[in-house]
Structure 1
Amino acid sequence: MKNQKSIYALLLVPVFIFALLGFTADTEEVAAGYKVGDIAEDFSLPGIDGKMVSLADYPDAKGFLVIFTCNSCPYAVAYEDRIIALDKKYKTKGYPVLAINPNNPEIKPADNFAAMKVRAAEKGFTFPYLLDKGQTVYPKYGATRTPHVYLLQKTTEGNKVEYIGAIDDNYQDATQVEEKFVELAVDALLTGKEVKIKTTRAIGCSIKS
């Protein structure tokens, strides 16, 4: 009996270590990247039109909706029309959408540059669709899902992160949405108010690296 208990204890050791490592990895994922209140660095990424795009290219913008998205994720696809609607509603008010595909095209061929051009044309994207070439930008932001939204506000210090998370509370059906997190956040900034809901959990596919 004593030997059996010893063997059982030894078998539990790898399980414990695995659980501990898993917890540590999750903690690091949550801890990495920008938080609300941080100043986001500018970037320069290739767009599907062949031009390099950065935040500095928009001197008249009041802020930005930086949205990490892609072609292949069903969650991202479900939100495409809503992302187009966000750009249409807020671009003229100073908050344009900049969509960034963070996936590694070698792992997800459906998200390669050529496929991005096709998808943008099919859907009639009204905003820049950029490739995070080398996957250097999304880790700085701390994006983990597609879609994952970062609302930036221009300040004298730089582009301040004001909201991080989901577009709304119902990815399955746009007609059943109860809380439009991004719209509430941008509307607050437009009226000089504080964003009430600053972070939500992004629902989508994991970024492929």
Structure 2
Amino acid sequence: MKKLLPLLALCVALLSSFALRPTAAGYKVGDKAADFHLKNVDGQLVSLASNPAAKGYIVVFTCNTCPFAKGYESRIIALHQQYAPQGYPVIAINPNDAASAPGDSYAAMQALAKAHKYPFPYLQDETQQVARTYGATRTPHLYVLKREGTGFVVSYIGAIDDNSEDAKLVKTKYLENAMTDIIAGRPATTSATQAIGCGIKWKKA
């Protein structure tokens, strides 16, 4: 029995390593982002090409119903107000399946955007294909895109900051630090962090 214990421990370790191995799906920093055409809450289609003056975008996968998304809502609005004048507006995308989360229906998105006077597009990813292409898993989950030539390159992926509960207790502003580097023409010193939020509500197979 004693001889079997080390073998069992090795098996558990190997299985754990496979379980924790990240998937290859989604964008990584340095990848070129494909454009999309998604419906905004005003009924218009929005794409990355819609704003030819944009130097880049802060793409935020978020939603109506997640407590984390609600907690970050005012900070997302503030990011748009801070960076849109510098050429990096926010584009918010709701990837949740409305059948699983009725509070994330298109009508509910319209109501929320109107009530909180969103200054940025709030798009419905009805097929969830854009979220899958990006590799988004949480709400909120951020991707900073920087224009290079005729396209956009992923320059930061992850969280806004290190405190989802209280903006006043934030110690590290990951997104703002990355934006300082990106706007200055440098790669972000920290280009990827762990997104913290609710899991995306995927359509049932």
Q: Percent identity?
A: 51
Question: What TM-score, normalized by structure 2, do the two folds share?
Answer: 0.88
Cα distance in 2, alignment partners of residues 177 and 196 from structure 1? 19
Cα displacement (A) at 1:194 = 2.2
Contact map agreement 1:163 1:185 (CA 8 A) in 2: yes
Q: Find the counterpart in structure 1 of residue 5 from structure 2.
A: none
Cα displacement (A) at 1:205 = 0.2
Q: Compare 46-55 and 183-192 and name the one that shifted more.
A: 183-192
Summarize the alignment of residues 81-96 of structure 1 with structure 2, pairs less than 5 Å apart: 81-96=74-89
Q: Which runs of 4+ in 1 moved over 6 A?
A: none
| Closer/same/farther in 2, CA of residues 175 and 57 from structure 1, 3 Å limit | same
In structure 1, give the amino acid aligned to 2:79.
Answer: L
Is 1:147 aligned to residue 140 of structure 2?
A: yes
Q: CA RMSD in A?
A: 1.9
What SS does structure 2 have at the residue aligned with 1:31?
coil
Cα distance in 2, alignment partners of residues 24 and 193 from structure 1? 35
In structure 1, give the amino acid aligned to 2:21.
Answer: T
Q: Find the counterpart in structure 1 of residue 60 from structure 2.
A: 67
| Closer/same/farther in 2, CA of residues 49 and 40 from structure 1, 3 Å limit | same
Contact map agreement 1:39 1:157 (CA 8 A) in 2: no
**Structure whose alpha-carbon radius of gyration is higher:** 1
Structure 2 gaps, min length 5: 1-7
| Closer/same/farther in 2, CA of residues 115 and 42 from structure 1, 3 Å limit | same
What SS does structure 1 have at the residue aligned with 2:123?
strand
Q: Find the counterpart in structure 1 of residue 98 from structure 2.
A: 105
Cα distance in 1, alignment partners of residues 183 and 138 from structure 2? 27
Cα distance in 2, alignment partners of residues 106 and 23 from structure 1? 34
In structure 1, give the amino acid aligned to 2:114.
Answer: A
Cα distance in 1, alignment partners of residues 18 and 102 from structure 2? 30
Matched residue count = 192
Cα displacement (A) at 1:85 = 0.1
Cα distance in 1, alignment partners of residues 19 and 41 from structure 2? 34
Question: What TM-score, normalized by structure 1, do the two folds share?
Answer: 0.87
Is 1:183 aligned to residue 181 of structure 2?
A: no
Higher relative helix content: 1
